[in-house]
Amino acid sequence: MYFISTRSGECVTGAEAIVKGLASDGGLFVPEKFPEITRDELNKMAEMNYPERAAFVLNKYLDDLGEDFLKEACEKAYSTFEGDDPAPLVRVNEGLYILELYHGPTCAFKDMALTVLPYLLKRSLEVTGSKDDVLILAATSGDTGKAALEGFKNVKGTKVAVFFPDEGVAKMQRLQMCTQSGNNVYVAAVKGNFDDCQRAVKNLFADEAFNAGLKEKGVCLSSANSINFGRLAPQIAYYFSAYIDLVTSEQIEVGDEIDFAVPTGNFGDILAGWYAKQMGLPVRRLICASNRNRVLADFFTTGSYNVKRNFFRTMSPSMDILISSNLERLLFEMSGRKADVIKTRMENLAKNGEYSITQTELQKIKQDFYGGYATEDDTVEAMYDIFEEYGYAMDTHTGVAVAVSNVYKEKEVDEKDDTPLIVLSTANPYKFPQDVLYALSGNDVKDSFKGVKRLNLLTAMKPPKALTELRYKPLRFKTTLPNDLKKMSASVLDFVDGNIVPEPASEK
Ligand SMILES: *Cc1c(COP(=O)(O)O)cnc(C)c1O
């Protein structure tokens, strides 16, 4: 399968798309066409375990990497997860299911892809014959950074540099990143919010002096953000897997339609669901849930994408984003694959902070998507209600999706409609212990680890060791950089040269 850029005729293999991350013209790589998964294949997938299902889906796109390789990679990647199912589907009540995607090493759904990506990248380098070392550069709203660091730490031939917004991440997320072990990792905070941070990193990708500096050192640049197709592809798999789990537990029959609700930031997770639908998965609607930073919800209503607005910090920080990069891939499809139209719109967004799509495109999008947003109060109420009635504790991001789904059910579907709804749960509640404790009990505590303790008393849910041990780990990275291309570029080049020596990691 070949991949094409959303902004020009650039065309590459799967391996090249993964190594490059972003197209030379600044566009994103999308598959030349959507491969199909037939009803027969769906039935066949019922016999497979999760890693086999994931490899089966990956092989539809990345056939140049080899099926046996993909199987082995998924096997190894998902063996790092807690429990025997990396993506368990929990039944909350008649018609409502939660797909828990947070059982990986860093307790957020980013692990579903970032445990696999290092294997995909190494293999892609072999296939393309590249001899360079790879520098993974990532901007993070909190969870991607940690998952990328953990996925790539000590992987030969790679280095990972992560920038996170100084003002943007939760305490646990910051601790997770700044205590990261490994001999090939670098972490720094950058002044400003996530959009500033993401923009700065995108500028680094495009900066000629920076790229030339790396090239001199025999290093090529790649991305662990969801702009990389290698990040997106493993996310398609869990939509199939969840559907098949509903079939095998006899909740639905193959061919029945279902809805998915997705807490959305950069639009990567939900886009993977739309790709699954294009491949033949019987999905009725994808519910795109935003928090108070409701650019997407407004876009789905008006067809105008406008980032000229206030940026809010919320208790779902991984969704505090105004510029959702992966929307570009959807718009490319909805425009009838007109790269010139997409290029113009993205230029408008960069220059004027907005663009609009046509009414025809908007109507098409509305057939597949429902966009809504939840306030902080809505989110707290949704989390509380489910905990009170069913004893199920969820994190704040998942809470946003449940709150928006409630409105969707009220407004868009008939009372008698019994189409099952799967809500994607993107983080372990213990990653945001103070906010979750507050939502479930009204209790405010000042300290995250005290929050963990109280939450444990309240829910009897086991806190993950990966989070509780953070309390005792030394901080290795303490730098905050200004949002300045030259300074960020210099710090990364310094790191590549081995001139930045972080504090030692703890032995544990
Ligand atoms: C990244 C993240 C999201 C948003 O996912 P996108 O793919 O960026 O839309 C939601 N919740 C959590 C916990 C996340 O880490």
Q: What percent of the chain has pLDDT over 90?
A: 92
For helices 327-334 and 359-368, the axis angle rounded to 10 degrees is 120
The residue type at 463: P
Burial annotation 234-269 (CB, 10 A radius, 16+ → b, else e): bbbbbbbbbbbbbbeeebbeeeeebbbbbbbbbbbb
Q: Which residue has the higher pLDDT, 205 or 263?
A: 263
**Cα(293) to centroid(ligand 1), Å:** 13
Cα dist from 498 to 163, 185, 207, 211, whole Å: 18, 11, 21, 17
Instruction: Please indicate whether residue 427, judged by its CB atom, sits closer than 6 Å to ligand 1.
Output: yes
* pLDDT band, very low/low/confident/very high, at 24 (cuts 50, 70, 90): confident
**Cα(295) to centroid(ligand 1), Å:** 15
Distant-in-sequence contacts of 86-93, Cβ < 8 A, 24+ apart: 86/50, 86/51, 86/112, 87/50, 87/112, 87/238, 87/241, 87/242, 89/242, 89/245, 89/246, 89/249, 89/422, 90/392, 91/249, 91/251, 92/386, 92/390, 92/392, 93/389, 93/390
Give the mean pLDDT of 433-453.
97
Q: Which two tokens stand for residue 13?
A: 């293999």
Instruction: Please indicate whether residue 143, judged by its CB atom, sits closer than 6 Å to ligand 1.
Output: yes
* 3-state DSSP assignment of residue 2: strand
pLDDT score of 500: 84
Hey, which residues does 30 pair with through a beta bridge?
A: 4
Range scoring the smallest mean pLDDT among 10-19, 20-29, 360-369, 406-415: 20-29
**Segment 46-81, tens digit of pLDDT:** 999 999 999 999 999 999 999 999 999 999 999 999
pTM of this structure: 0.96
Q: Which residue has the higher pLDDT, 112 or 206?
A: 112
Cα dist from 153 to 124, 146, 161, 491, 493, whole Å: 18, 10, 11, 19, 18
Mean pLDDT computed over every residue of the chain: 95
pLDDT score of 2: 98
pLDDT score of 110: 97
Distance CA 423, CA 401 (A): 7
**Domain ranges for the chain:** 117-228+472-496
**Segment 296-309, tens digit of pLDDT:** 999 999 999 999 99
Instruction: Please indicate whether residue 235, judged by its CB atom, sits closer than 6 Å to ligand 1.
Output: no
Distance CA 112, CA 313 (A): 26
pLDDT above 60 for 507: no
CB 179 within 8 A of CB 508: no
**Relative to the CA of 235, which ligand 1 atom is closest?**
7
pLDDT above 80 for 508: no
Distance CA 37, CA 236 (A): 12
**Segment 309-334, tens digit of pLDDT:** 999 999 999 999 999 999 999 999 99
**Segment 119-146, tens digit of pLDDT:** 999 999 999 998 899 999 999 988 999 9
Range scoring the smallest mean pLDDT among 22-26, 101-105, 151-155: 22-26
* CATH number of the structural domain 117-228+472-496: 3.40.50.1100
**Segment 139-155, tens digit of pLDDT:** 998 899 999 999 999 99
* 3-state DSSP assignment of residue 261: strand
**Relative to the CA of 142, which ligand 1 atom is closest?**
15
CB 111 within 8 A of CB 148: no
**Segment 188-216, tens digit of pLDDT:** 999 999 889 988 998 998 899 999 999 99
Instruction: Give, for ligand 1, the residue of 319, 329, 398 to mutate: max count of ligand atoms closer than 8 Å to Cβ.
Output: 319
**Cα(91) to centroid(ligand 1), Å:** 22
Give me the torsion for CA of 327, 334, 352, 229, rounded to 10°.
30
Q: Which two tokens stand for residue 120?
A: 């995909």
**Relative to the CA of 397, which ligand 1 atom is closest?**
11
